[in-house]
Amino acid sequence: MNIYVGNLSFDVVESDLLRLFETFGRVTSASIIKDKFKGRSRGFGFVEMPDDAEAQAAIEALNGKEMMNRTLTVNEARQRPERAPRSGGDRRPNRGGGRRRF
């Protein structure tokens, strides 16, 4: 099961998440989502646990728990909605910006 972990402190690293969730069972992966330009945490991450019963126990125990002075939001991750493919043209209509002469 893929688990969403939100409201993380910016100081939390993957190994912190791994240790937190390993107390409930086997963890396949733990990742923190980072800003691609600044490289710092965006305040949320994902943990993958193969056993659904262990994952559900972790969600119930950790949702609302404090970690590094932040109250965690923990729930089953939802699938991202599919995005429509971009069309080849300009997506914004010409609104005639720029300098105007009156």
Query: All domains of the chain, ordered by start, with CATH?
Result: 2-76 (3.30.70.330)
pLDDT digits (tens, 9 = 90+) for 27-78: 999 999 999 999 899 999 999 999 999 999 999 999 999 999 999 999 999 8
Q: State the pTM of this model.
A: 0.77
Distances (CA, A) of 76 to 51, 52, 81: 13, 10, 15
Q: Return the structure tokens found at 20.
A: 């937190």
Q: What is the DSSP string of 19-55?
A: HHHHTTS--SEEEEEE-TTT-SEEEEEEEE-S-HHHH
